[in-house]
Amino acid sequence: MAASATADPDWRRVSTAPTPYTVFTKLIEKSPQDDRDYRLIELDNGLRAMLVHDAKTDKAAASLNVAVGHLNDPDDMPGLAHFCEHLLFMGTEQYPGENEYQEFLTKNNGYSNAFTGASNTNYYFSVSTNALPGALSRFAAFFHCPLFAPSCTSRELNAVDSEHKKNQQSDSWRISQVNKHLSKEGHAWRKFGTGNKESLSKVGRELKARGLLGSNGNGNGHTNGPVSGVIKSADGSFAPPPASSLVPSSVPSVNSTSSELEGDGGVVGRETRRRLVEWWSKEYCAGRMRLCIIGKESLDDMADMVAKLFSPVKNRGQVPLPMIIEHPFGPNEIGTMVSVQTIMSFYVLDVLFPLDYQHRHWRYEPGGFLAHFLGHEGPGSLHSYLKNKGWITTLDAGPQNLGRGFAMMKVTLQLTKEGFENYRAGMLAVFKYLSLLRSSSFPAWYQRELSTICATRFRFAEKYSPDNYAIRVTQMLAYPVPPERILSAPQLVEEWDEHDPANSGEHEVHETLEGLRVGKGRVVLMAKVDEHERVRGNVAEWETEPWYGTSYRVEKLDADFLAQAESPNDIPELYLPGPNKFIPTNMNVEKCLVDKPLRRPRLIRETPLSSLWYKKDDYFLVPKAQVMLAIRSPLANASARTATLTHLFAELVNDSLTEIVYDANLAGLSYYLVGHTDGLCLILWGYNDKLHVLARNVLEHANNLHIKADRLAVMKEQLKRGLENYFLNGPCGLSDDFGCYLMQERKWTMEEILAEIPSVTVEEVQAQMSGLLSKINMRMLLLGNMSKDEAVRLMEMAENTLQASPISIPEVLDRTLIFPNASNYVWSRLVPNPNEPNSCLAYYTRVGSALEPRTRVTLALLAQILSEPAFNVLRTREQLGYNVSCSQWASPGDSEIGLRILIQSERDPVYLEERVEAFLDEMKEKLFKTDEIEFEEQKTGLEHAAREAAKNQAEETEGHWRQIRSGYLDFLRCDNDADLVKTITKEDVISMFLSRIHPSSSSRAKLSVHLRSQKPPAQKISNSAMEAFESLVTARGITVDGQRWRSELTGNGEPLVSHFERYWQATLAGEPAVTPEVGKEIMASLPALLEQHPAPTESKGKIKDGVVFIEDPKAFRASLKVSALPKPLVDWGDLPTSIQS
């Protein structure tokens, strides 16, 4: 039994259980709003679990957090923790099928995922409540008897590599790694956390090159492959060696070219797997594991289930929560400015300071207290000063726990072009504000406000998805707080003890402030290289970060700047904020007594100008409300220019309100105004006490906005940069957007919007504002803790504020462009980013109308059945790429539906389309062979998904708003679809698949978007070309060691041509009988062999007969049929007359 629980009187031994465990006896502090029951237990192996009984949940979930992450990687094998996360899922001794776990979850309305952090790795799933025991049994086995299947080694190495390549053009990943790279020498924070094939295979390749790997890829004589023909679990088949894993065998075997199992990566792959199992056998210790289970089972049943399933996990005697106290910033890393070149076009300035680990300061949270001031956006704030200068668009500040034991305070300025030109003055302002804080005393009411805001948020916290909550709980289980406060302490902050100032939170604040000095921090300045050199000149040589290739340079901050930054604040515009008037005072909940919660909103008011839908919150019972208001006008999106003007107008309104509404946002009341295809959409959410005040402020500002030229210039620059950066996004998102463009009636390309921005004037935006708001139709939905009368008054206020004339509804409805039956279209484009290595395929088939219930439900069932095999075949088995998905799609306006398959890959899109159609052919056979039991399980899973209830007000509002916005008003669709699922037959699914999805169908409607990378992939060489080259060499009378070159070159799939050339150049140069001229002559034959024997992975695929390429997308769109105007599918009869005031 774990010593921590045994020695503590607050823990009680439960020895009568089938598998004994220890239970925490105190009540777990929770929100009064929380109707779930909690129990904390500890197993004899040290694993702690929070059990959550939720009688109302319709979804079960589990999360297991292991207190090791990429900071625990071996120094010589970066990415091993991440690789472990990948390979761990590939079967267990109890459930050896590598996709058995995913299949079980999919047919039970579930899914799973995992992520590797700096100091933790988290695994989680969600599933239908009745399937929790089966899912948990499969889940638990990953932690006590994983196979780390040798046959999957090479595939998962490729998956990790593909994931890294996906991130190589991402500035966030690149800049993060630069900051890590510039840590003190030897600190764990320097590590390359994601890893790639290179970092994970380097040790094995080096050992192999020195002849130190045997045929099992293990110099220590241990086998990690199958034993007696049976694959055993990691613990069962691999005993960690007593000495270092790098000590070679004294009598190394001759290198082997054959693999015991296909896909094990040869001797190099086997060595990587051996190191993985060795690492896992040491680091994955039960005492480091924190588990959370959420379900409908009783707490006793859950406790017995957890004890039985997780007790086999070994406690390996490791420190439960390993800490790294030393900070990655040493003397050489502080007082510096790092300039970083970006891929995308933006200007950002980060000011970073080492910070004490913040979880230790959970009572008063001094880092959060200071972030409240640094990130404030009200009058007197740093944000307000810099924004009024025209130097920033946004400012964020806050503490970040980088790893368990060390943290960072980060202030981020999103700069304008002018702000970048004045970056020194901008970063000096940050230090001047810190000087202001150091010279200030903080009245206790500041902390009291923050404490009140946190307490109110905790008191009225709503539920969210069980899997996300389980993840959150497992992370809170690692907080250094009393066990009874595991749920409350991370979410609350205590008031200061005014009677003991020396030990109060204010003392902690001033201590923390002393660390936020210019000589103790680092400044990071980010922009594209031409902007750096335009503003600063070529002041120093650029260096290169090794993993992402990011260019950077480091300079010490000059003495003059250091002196200015340490001097007292002399900027009069900077001062501390006043009290927050938006903190709610009326938190009463008007409970609506109903036998059963209403399933839809009611139409309670309708005029020629507006319609108002209303639903009193009768389930969540919190003092909050959600308001959705669509202000619809045909002028908003009549052309690319008016769409641009509408977007700029909405952003200018938001910009003008920053100082006014910031306190409301802090106090839990927020809004957002956004331009939409049919006008403007205003969203308000939060505590209802002062919601009407915020709504009036926003609408009055929108109606009376006086546009300033300087702020329009900032918004234009921001929009321009955003659109330019859009083209540098990953191909997966771009291809889906391009597909959407082909299917939406009123849709403009980003190129068209970009072309309009430079010439936009103040007068044009002002005119657009007046015209757009003069003739409108409004739809509002209010859901929450507000009365019907309050809802009506809110709608009346909107009408009275805007003083608009009504328009007819059809003028503003979204409509779909329908690509026809018996079609096979391809739109081929280049990936805009020339350095992006990935291509993408977005493959759409249109099934029919979303308004036809049987079609809709049959497609949903078919998409569910295909989703897991698509991932397993196209990603796991065929290794086409990291991003692979198969799902249902709905057209803009929600009138048409179909199946969509997305693949982001280094392979050509034509080849990807070939593989998709081969997959669909394979699924044809699978569908016919599906037995009735499995088919009924799939139906049950879909029915559970359709009946899944909203978890909070926001989710319920979103579901109703979609029906109101579309115009169909089909509020009970999910309930009706759930009932209809029961009537769907296997024959229905097969018939739809054969007629609407399968490539052999003569009637199917198919469209695909091919985004092709401009970056040529590294050329590979086929096995037949290598053998032909061997024959050519031996024909010259040269002795060839066939076993050696195969072992050297083919251990991990097709080698690169460059590797092949280097090997043979060195080999031929070492042959005394081969002159340099002969060697060159032999190597000169290689290009012809590559052409004669192309590598299978070099195949670009072949376009099938009947494909029609879209050469002119505008003409194509113009040729398509437009969907019918949406009309209500149900006449709810809520109003006695059509017009009511």
How crowded is residue 663: how many other Cβ atoms within 10 Å of its Cβ?
Answer: 20
Exposed, middle or buried: residue 74 (CB in 10 Å: 0-12, 13-18, 19+)?
middle
Are the C-beta atoms of 550 and 175 separated by less than 8 Å? Answer: yes
Residue 772: alpha-carbon gap to chain centroid: 36
Say what the alpha-carbon torsion angle 475, 479, 484, 485 is, to the nearest 10 degrees: -90
Q: Strands 48-53 and 289-295, how do they pair?
A: parallel
Strands (E), 235-384: 289-295, 336-341, 347-356
How crowded is residue 329: how many other Cβ atoms within 10 Å of its Cβ?
Answer: 24
Report the amino acid identity of residue 526: M
Are the C-beta atoms of 954 and 626 separated by less than 8 Å? Answer: yes
Report the amino acid identity of residue 363: R
Are the C-beta atoms of 329 and 522 separated by less than 8 Å? Answer: yes
Secondary structure (3-state) at 1062: helix
Cα–Cα distance measured from residue 1018 to residue 253, given in angstroms and rounded to the nearest whole number:
32
For residue 663, give both structure tokens.
């306190």
For residue 1087, give both structure tokens.
């290009």
| DSSP-assigned states of every residue in 152-178 | GHHHHHHHHHHHHHHHTT-HHHHHHHH
CB proximity list for 984: less than 8 A, separation 6 or greater: 854, 857, 858, 861, 939
For residue 398, give both structure tokens.
């806050």
First CA to last CA distance, the chain:
71
For residue 296, give both structure tokens.
């409908």
Cα–Cα distance measured from residue 469 to residue 122, given in angstroms and rounded to the nearest whole number:
13
Cα–Cα distance measured from residue 40 to residue 21, given in angstroms and rounded to the nearest whole number:
11
Residue 231: alpha-carbon gap to chain centroid: 34
Exposed, middle or buried: residue 237 (CB in 10 Å: 0-12, 13-18, 19+)?
buried
Q: E strand or H helix at 997, and its extent?
A: none
Exposed, middle or buried: residue 669 (CB in 10 Å: 0-12, 13-18, 19+)?
buried
Residue 1044: alpha-carbon gap to chain centroid: 44
How crowded is residue 1088: how many other Cβ atoms within 10 Å of its Cβ?
Answer: 11
For residue 588, give both structure tokens.
């009463």
Cα–Cα distance measured from residue 933 to residue 955, given in angstroms and rounded to the nearest whole number:
33
Cα–Cα distance measured from residue 770 to residue 636, given in angstroms and rounded to the nearest whole number:
11
Residue 613: strand pairing partners: 603, 781
Q: E strand or H helix at 561, and its extent?
A: helix 559-566
- 511 part of the active site: no
Please pick, among 42, 85, 156, 956, the residue that the annotation labels catalytic. Answer: 85
Cα–Cα distance measured from residue 847 to residue 1003, given in angstroms and rounded to the nearest whole number:
10
Cα–Cα distance measured from residue 726 to residue 651, given in angstroms and rounded to the nearest whole number:
18
Q: E strand or H helix at 106, and its extent?
A: helix 100-106
Secondary structure (3-state) at 284: coil
Residue 842: strand pairing partners: 902, 1009
For residue 569, give both structure tokens.
């604040």
Classify the phi-psi angles of 1127: left when phi > 0, otherwise alpha if psi is within -120 to 50, otherwise beta. beta
Cα–Cα distance measured from residue 980 to residue 71, given in angstroms and rounded to the nearest whole number:
51
- Active site residues per annotation: 85
